[in-house]
């Protein structure tokens, strides 16, 4: 299956954001974006690209360099990266490809586009400290097996240290 | 600073949620090796699940755990490759990047916490090899598993990115292999050994995630491994919990038992399958302990 999104043949110049590449370079992990010379090592070594018809890290990097802000940030494929860091380790130019994907996802999040799984994990963490809501039967089983009590989280303290975190603000405003 | 052979155990989220066998078997073998485990006095998720949506949130969550451990003057022992990679990466950043360290502390201060970079974070495998040493583990083995042939899966975040993970070769991982061979079992090489299990993509695209796992299972099966040994609850979940689902989805038949490393070591130390929570495994592993008990 070839999607229009990735194989669109022409680009409207009005859709180009020349500052986009510099915006990405300012985030930790995005610094080397401009060094990519399109050798394609990232895509050829990517285990996700092997099974996905759409996820091509080299292509996303190029689109980011060219300033195709909206196309990159509205693309579903940036969420497919498994963060296995094979691309980052193999890149001959030192581009932190997996970190660039994370920067792009973070930027997308700021626009309010968040896959459901992250809302679920996020609200569980803010409530209990744990990414999953641990069922009571698991807690009871620990006791029956003689395992120590699970360490407790202090959600008020957690919320205080996350006061300036945008995703936390986002979750408490609209996420519930 | 930190005392020798005493660690704060960092369970993470997935182990208490559904992978208790890893914790149970770890506590057994470490007790046998005279390692003292102390529970985290306060805990929150390491932060890794939030990194895709908010990098800053991950940094603060990881640093909170480091700050709590520093108050105890104790190194952290992790079981999950994800927690391990995250806490190690943030700990390194706190120690080496003054600007980032200051900005993290500005946020931690709001909750009366502070991080200094005074402790170390080590995965179980590192503690076993670097702190205890293979000789000491060898001495605890009473039941060598010489008839077993297994394969290993170290997991991504313990190997990569090389710069921050930095204790094994991501192209040719050796640490888990050496720990397996010390039990007497043979560890077989297979194709794409250090490749991802697929776990981080589940929840976004389950089919692609399971295809990665299936691909690995094919390679593991083709070399004739009797079991796969993992050191991460997420990798274990992909291979064990999801194995039946993969078999149905792709019309394959594997039946490969997936053991947490401390379960394998525990068998060699003479613990019973019950002590090591073998009953928790989704794929039946009775073949594995049946062939070990013949030796006794």
pLDDT tens for each residue of B17-76: 999 999 999 999 999 999 999 999 999 999 999 999 999 999 999 999 999 999 999 999
Q: H/E element holding B122?
A: strand B121-123
Contact B291, B147 (CB under 8 A): yes
Q: Of all helices (H) and strands (E), which one includes residue A106?
A: helix A97-110
**B113 → chain A, closest CA residue:** A161
Q: Find chain B residues with C-beta within 8 A of A28's C-beta.
A: 55, 100
Whole-number Å distance between alpha carbons of B123 and B78: 5
Stretch A114-136: mean pLDDT: 95
> CB distance A132–B100 less than 8 Å?
no
Which residue in B has a C-alpha nearest to residue A145's C-alpha?
Answer: B24
Return the percentage of chain A with pLDDT > 90, whole number.
84
Per CB-CB distance under 8 Å, the chain A contacts of B168 are none
Query: Each residue of A42-64: b (16+ CB within 10 Å) or e?
Result: bbebbbbbbbbebbbbbbbbebb
Residue B109: other Cβ atoms inside 10 A? 12
B162 vs A contacts (CB less than 8 Å): 89
| Res B2 pLDDT > 90 | no
Residue B273 clears pLDDT 60, i.e. is over it: yes
Residue A151: list chain B partners with CB under 8 A. 11, 39-43
Distance from CA of A123 to the nearest CA of B (A): 11
Nearest CA among A76, A126, A161 for reference residue B68? A161
Residue B93: closest C-alpha in chain A: A28
Return the CATH number of B6-124, one of 1.10.1520.10, 2.120.10.30, 3.40.50.2300, 1.20.1050.140.
Answer: 1.20.1050.140
On the question of pLDDT at B169 being above 70, the answer is yes
* Cβ count near A140 (within 10 Å): 10
pLDDT of residue A105: 97
Distance CA B181, CA B129 (A): 13
pLDDT of residue B144: 97
Residues of A in contact with B43 (CB under 8 A): 129, 150-153
Q: What is the pLDDT of residue A4?
A: 46
The 10 Å Cβ neighbour count of residue A1 is: 4
Q: Give the number of other Cβ atoms within 10 Å of residue B130's Cβ.
A: 12
Burial of A160 (0-12, 13-18, 19+ CB in 10 A): middle
- Paired residues of B149 in beta bridges: B186
Q: What pLDDT score was predicted for residue B1?
A: 44
Confidence at residue B206, expressed as pLDDT on a 0 to 100 scale: 96
- Helix orientation angle between B261-269 and B20-32, rounded to the nearest 10 degrees: 40
Contact state of A84 with B156 under an 8 Å Cβ cutoff: yes
Mean of pLDDT over chain A: 92
Domain boundaries along the sequence of chain B: 6-124, 134-293
* Ramachandran angles phi, psi of B228, nearest 5°: -115, 135
A138 → closest Cβ in B17, B41, B64: B17
Closest chain B residue to A79, measured at CA: B204
Strands B6-10 and B36-39: parallel
Domains of chain A: 4-110 (1.10.1060.10), 116-175 (no CATH)
Give B179's pLDDT tier (boundaries 50, 70, 90).
Answer: very high
Provide the percentage of residues in chain B whose pLDDT is more than 90: 93
Query: Which chain A positions have a beta carbon within 8 Å of B100's beta carbon?
Result: 28
pLDDT value at residue A7: 58
Contacts of A118 in chain B (CB under 8 A): 49-50, 52-53
| Separation in Å, CA of B215 to nearest CA in chain A | 10
Q: Which of residues 1-20 of A touch B (CB under 8 A)?
A: none
Contact between residue B108 and residue B63 where contact means Cβ atoms under 8 Å apart: yes
In degrees to the nearest 10, what's the CA dihedral of B269, B236, A122, A69?
130
Task: Work out the average pLDDT over B99-109.
Answer: 98
> How confident is residue A168, by pLDDT bands cut at 50, 70 and 90?
confident
Rounded to whole angstroms, the Cα distance separating A162 from B119 reads 23
Q: In terms of CA atoms, which chain B residue is nearest residue A107? A: B53
Q: Say yes or no: A138 contacts chain B, CB-CB below 8 A.
A: yes
Under 8 Å CB-to-CB from A72, ≥6 apart: which residues? A20, A60, A63, A64, A78, A104
Q: What is the pLDDT of residue A156?
A: 97
Interface probe, candidates A82, A89, A103, chain B, greatest B C-beta count within 10 A = A82
Question: Quick one: angle between helices A97-110 and A57-66, nearest 10?
Answer: 60
State yes or no: pLDDT of A68 exceeds 80.
yes
Closest CA to B138 of B181, B167, B177: B181
Q: Per-residue pLDDT for A10 more than 80?
A: no
The pair phi, psi for residue B38, each rounded to 5°, is: -115, 140
Question: Using CA atoms, how far apart are residues B156 and B162, in angstroms rounded to an integer?
Answer: 10
B134-293 classified as CATH 3.40.50.11810: yes
Task: Kindly give the pairing relationship between strand B186-187 and strand B149-153.
Answer: parallel
Q: What is the mean pLDDT of chain B?
A: 95
Report helix, strand or coil for B60: helix
pLDDT for position B166: 77
Of B236, B235, B249, nearest in space to B280 by CA: B236
pLDDT higher than threshold 90 for residue A104: yes
pLDDT at A108: 96
The whole-number pLDDT of residue A2 equals 47
Q: Is the pLDDT of residue A9 over 80?
A: no
The predicted-structure confidence for B181-220, as pLDDT tens digits, reads as follows: 999 999 999 999 999 999 999 989 999 999 999 999 999 9
- pLDDT confidence of residue B293: 60
Among all residues of chain A, which has the CA nearest to that of B274? A145
Rounded distance between C-alpha atoms, residue B40 and residue B79, angstroms: 14
Q: CA B49 to CA B157: how far, in whole Å?
A: 13
Q: Is the pLDDT of residue A131 over 90?
A: yes
pLDDT in tens, B214-249: 999 999 999 999 999 999 999 999 999 999 999 999
CA A18 to chain B, closest CA, distance in angstroms equals: 24
pLDDT band of A12, cuts 50, 70, 90: confident
Query: pLDDT at position B167, please?
Result: 82
Residues 6+ apart with CB under 8 A from A31: A25, A96
Chain B residues with beta carbon closer than 8 angstroms to that of A160: 110-111
CA angle B285, B288, B290 (to 5 degrees): 105
State the pairing for strand pair B36-39/B76-78: unpaired
């Amino acid at each position: 299956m070839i999607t229009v999104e990735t194989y669109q043949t022409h680009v409207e110049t009005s859709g180009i954001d020349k500052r986009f590449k510099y915006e990405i370079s300012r985030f930790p992990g995005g610094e080397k974006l401009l060094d990519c010379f399109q050798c394609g090592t990232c895509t050829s070594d990517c285990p996700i690209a092997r099974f996905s018809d759409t996820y091509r890290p080299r292509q996303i990097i190029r689109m980011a360099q060219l300033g195709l802000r909206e196309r990159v940030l509205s693309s579903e494929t940036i969420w497919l990266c498994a963060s296995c860091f094979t691309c980052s380790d193999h890149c001959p130019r030192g581009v932190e490809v997996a970190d660039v994907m994370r920067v792009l996802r973070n930027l997308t999040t700021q626009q309010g586009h968040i896959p459901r799984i992250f809302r679920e994990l996020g609200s569980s963490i803010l409530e209990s400290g744990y990414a999953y809501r641990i069922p009571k039967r698991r807690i009871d089983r620990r006791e029956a097996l003689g395992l120590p009590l699970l360490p407790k989280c202090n959600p008020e303290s957690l919320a205080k240290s996350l006061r300036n975190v945008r995703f936390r603000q986002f979750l408490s405003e609209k996420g519930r | 600073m930190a005392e020798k052979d005493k660690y704060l155990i960092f369970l993470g989220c997935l182990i208490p949620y559904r992978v208790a066998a890893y914790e149970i078997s770890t506590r057994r073998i470490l007790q046998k090796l005279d390692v003292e485990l102390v529970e985290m006095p306060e805990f929150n998720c390491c932060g890794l699940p939030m990194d895709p949506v908010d990098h800053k949130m991950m940094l603060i969550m990881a640093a909170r755990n480091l700050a709590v451990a520093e108050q105890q003057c104790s190194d952290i022992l992790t079981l999950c490759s994800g927690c391990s990679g995250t806490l190690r990466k943030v700990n390194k950043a706190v120690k080496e990047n003054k600007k980032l360290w200051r900005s993290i502390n500005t946020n931690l201060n709001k909750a009366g916490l502070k991080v200094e970079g005074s402790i170390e974070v080590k995965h179980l495998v590192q503690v076993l090899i670097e702190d205890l040493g293979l000789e000491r583990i060898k001495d605890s083995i009473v039941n060598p598993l010489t008839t077993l042939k297994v394969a290993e899966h170290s997991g991504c975040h313990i190997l990569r990115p090389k710069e921050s993970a930095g204790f094994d070769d991501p192209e040719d991982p050796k640490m888990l292999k050496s720990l397996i061979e010390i039990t007497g079992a043979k560890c077989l090489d297979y194709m794409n050994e250090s490749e991802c299990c697929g776990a981080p993509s589940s929840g976004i695209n389950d089919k692609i995630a399971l295809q990665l796992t299936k691909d690995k299972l094919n390679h593991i099966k083709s070399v004739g491994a009797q079991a796969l040994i993992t050191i991460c609850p997420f990798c274990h979940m992909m291979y064990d919990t999801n194995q039946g689902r993969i078999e149905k989805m792709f019309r394959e038949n594997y039946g490969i038992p997936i053991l947490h490393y401390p379960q394998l070591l525990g068998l060699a130390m003479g613990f019973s399958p019950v002590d090591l929570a073998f009953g928790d495994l989704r794929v039946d592993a009775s073949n594995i302990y049946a062939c070990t008990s013949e030796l006794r």
